[in-house]
Amino acid sequence: MRLLLISNSTMAGEPYLDYCKNDIAEFLGKERIEALFIPYAGVSMTYDEYEAKVKTRFNEVGHDVVSIHHFNDPIKAVQDAKAIVVGGGSTWHLLHEVRRHGLIEQIRTKVEDGTPYIGWSAGSNLTCPTIKTTNDMPIIDPKGFEALNLIPFQINPHYLDKTAQGHGGESRQQRIEEFLIVNQDITVAGLREGCMFIYENGKLTHKGERTCRIFKYGEEFYELSSGDDFNFLMK
């Protein structure tokens, strides 16, 4: 498999997908690729609008996307894809639509056979065993939490250390600790903004200036930096 799993699409004050566009270009390679874009996480914009935003940035680095909503047969579109790109937004809506179109097994098989997969935020969540560590409000019933299960650990994108000043609710850390109480056999990686996981050649690496927080049931959380060994997460 080849996976590029990005925490967030946009850094504060920067254009959309700008900070990670060169990582996308390097991941896809020098030869121009027209990737299949899956915009189903987009709820507050049309799929045409979402496609246009992503296309602009991909074109800047020598690649292109075409959205799956233009195809009469989404399954065949996945089967024929040279690369698969899944954008962020509502993880719940994304999984609902992927499942509704019968694409879970199709995407999993395609990616396991070597087709490059790029996701950010919800698109990264989708590669996990489930979407149970998404930050999103459950705006729609996805008819089950099970996701692509391409990786054996859970990602929490946009991981934050602190809650907003004056906020009395649970922190992200507390929410993940609650998850681990009822899901004791799985590891959670808190992927901070500006960071990403890259999996290729059987090796998982982390890229980004911020550390990644690792959570396991019954253990104190700990931090790993880019350059540390992350391969244990794939075992």
- Among all residues, which ones are annotated catalytic? 121, 136, 158
SS3 199: strand
Q: Parallel, antiparallel, or unpaired: how do β-strands 64-67 and 34-38 relate?
A: parallel
Residues facing residue 191 across a β-bridge: 157
Give the CA-trace dihedral at 116, 122, 127, 133, to 10 degrees.
160
* Inter-residue contact 9 to 16 (CB < 8 Å): yes
Q: Assign residue 48 a region (left: φ > 0; alpha: ψ between -120 and 50; beta: otherwise).
A: alpha
Q: Residue 6's beta-bridge partner residues?
A: 120, 196
| 150/127 Cα distance (integer angstroms) | 5
